[in-house]
Structure 1
Amino acid sequence: MKKDLDLGWFDLKKALQNTDRKELINIIRDLYRYSEENRRYLLARSINTNAEPGILEAYREVIKNEFFPEKWHGTLRYSVAKKAISDYSKASGDFAGTMELMLFYVENGVEFTCKYGDIDEEFYQEIYSAFEEFCTRLETPEGKTLYAGFRERLLKIRRKTKGMAWGFGDGIKLRVKEIEIFFEDAQSDS
């Protein structure tokens, strides 16, 4: 017999295929009860996120809590905030919601440095990298439809980052300008 650690997806799949519907629902219920992360994932995977905005809000809270927790100071674990974005995207398949979370992550990074002052180079690299990924996705055919809804927020980020250290403010300013030109050109081509 295989050790538990040697068992993989195919072993589990085989076992689940022999499980009746009621037992599968019980297994999912247990996973739901096991952790908050499981609850968020199962809800995002199973319920229309457009019809239930509370699902997206739960992921926003994870991100916000890394920057501005209700108690004490944030631990600012980039990996936790970025995992929330990735988990939402994988579970829901909601491109617009994923873009919302990506920009929300950047906005919280900007607010964090506005509130606490100059941070270190790693901080700015993490936030700028997320901003760059957001902008790259915004320039895709699917992202183009979202620009109008994000434009004011992008301009606000540009204003707030003016003069920020490590070239962060300059990088944001340049990238927002590139986005504006991209969408002006796209509009004139239409």
Structure 2
Amino acid sequence: MMSGAKKKPTWNDLKRTIGGLDRDALLGLVHDLYVAHKENKTFLHARFGLGDDVLEPYKATISRWVCPDVMRNQDYSVSKAKKAISDYKKAVGHAEGLAELTVFYCESCRDFLGFCSVDDEVYFNALVRMFEQALKWIRQLDSDQQEHYLERLDSVHYRAGDWGWGVSSDMSELMAEYGFAEK
């Protein structure tokens, strides 16, 4: 290491610097972050509950990446779709919002697989893992909230028999493991 080289800045370094800002400077910083990247805007809207549907941008991202428009030669990306859920969790992390996003992910995969054949073990494994995440989040909800989400997952599970890769049997095992009897 070169002598005189500075260490990498840390959160504590940044916190000290931000702590010295007055209100206007802090608002200016947040504004600059807000306009710098779409993800920052989405994060802040979700964190503060702004807008009619804070889940909509996350759903749009999920849909784009697990249910792409193949007529426009769009490809799919499990990691980019999952990142939307992770981003929401960091911004807000409400169990009901996470249940909605994970179930929506599964439904988007179902929709894509309904009109497009996919032979990708990673895609199917990610779908099963997301199905399990959905069950985990649903289980955290009040029983009167669970039914709606379980019905939607049942619809995904019903179609899974058409896909192979053991997806349907994996989903059946998960439903039993999480104590949700199949309908």
Q: With the length of structure 2 as denominator, give the TM-score of the two structures.
A: 0.85
Q: CA, structure 1 residues 119+62, in 2 after alignment: closer, same or farther (shift >3 Å)?
A: same
Aligned: 1:172 with 2:177: no
CA RMSD of aligned residues (A): 2.4
Gaps spanning 5+ residues in structure 2: where?
Answer: none
**Any idea what the Cα deviations from partners look like across 1:32-86, whole Å, max 9, x if unmatched?**
11111111011111226xxx44221111101111133467233322121111111
Contact 1:158 / 1:176 at 8 angstroms: preserved in 2? no
Distance 1:73 1:153 in 2: 29
**4+ residue runs of structure 1 moved beyond 6 angstroms?**
none
Number of equivalent positions: 178
Distance 2:93 2:33 in 1: 21
Distance 1:61 1:148 in 2: 24
Contact 2:47 / 2:92 at 8 angstroms: preserved in 1? yes
Q: Per-residue deviation at 1:13? A: 0.5
Q: Which residue of 2 aligns with 1:32?
A: 34
Distance 1:176 1:128 in 2: 11
Distance 1:20 1:161 in 2: 56
Q: Which residue of 2 aligns with 1:104?
A: 104
Aligned: 1:81 with 2:102: no
Distance 1:12 1:30 in 2: 16
Q: With the length of structure 1 as denominator, give the TM-score of the two structures.
A: 0.82
**Any idea what the Cα deviations from partners look like across 1:123-156, whole Å, max 9, x if unmatched?**
110110111121133234x364531121221221
Aligned: 1:163 with 2:162: yes
What amino acid does structure 1 have at the position aligned with 2:43?
Answer: Y
Q: Which has the higher contact order (CA 8 A, sep 6+)?
A: 2
Gaps spanning 5+ residues in structure 1: where?
Answer: 185-190
Worse-superposed segment, 76-85 or 62-71: 62-71
Contact 1:67 / 1:74 at 8 angstroms: preserved in 2? no
Aligned pairs (5 A) from 1:6-155: 6-47=8-49, 52-69=51-68, 72-140=72-140, 142=141, 144-155=143-154
Q: CA, structure 1 residues 181+45, in 2 after alignment: closer, same or farther (shift >3 Å)?
A: same
Distance 1:163 1:175 in 2: 18
Q: CA, structure 1 residues 56+126, in 2 after alignment: closer, same or farther (shift >3 Å)?
A: same
Contact 2:66 / 2:105 at 8 angstroms: preserved in 1? no
Distance 1:144 1:78 in 2: 30
Q: CA, structure 1 residues 166+69, in 2 after alignment: closer, same or farther (shift >3 Å)?
A: closer
Q: Per-residue deviation at 1:25? A: 0.7
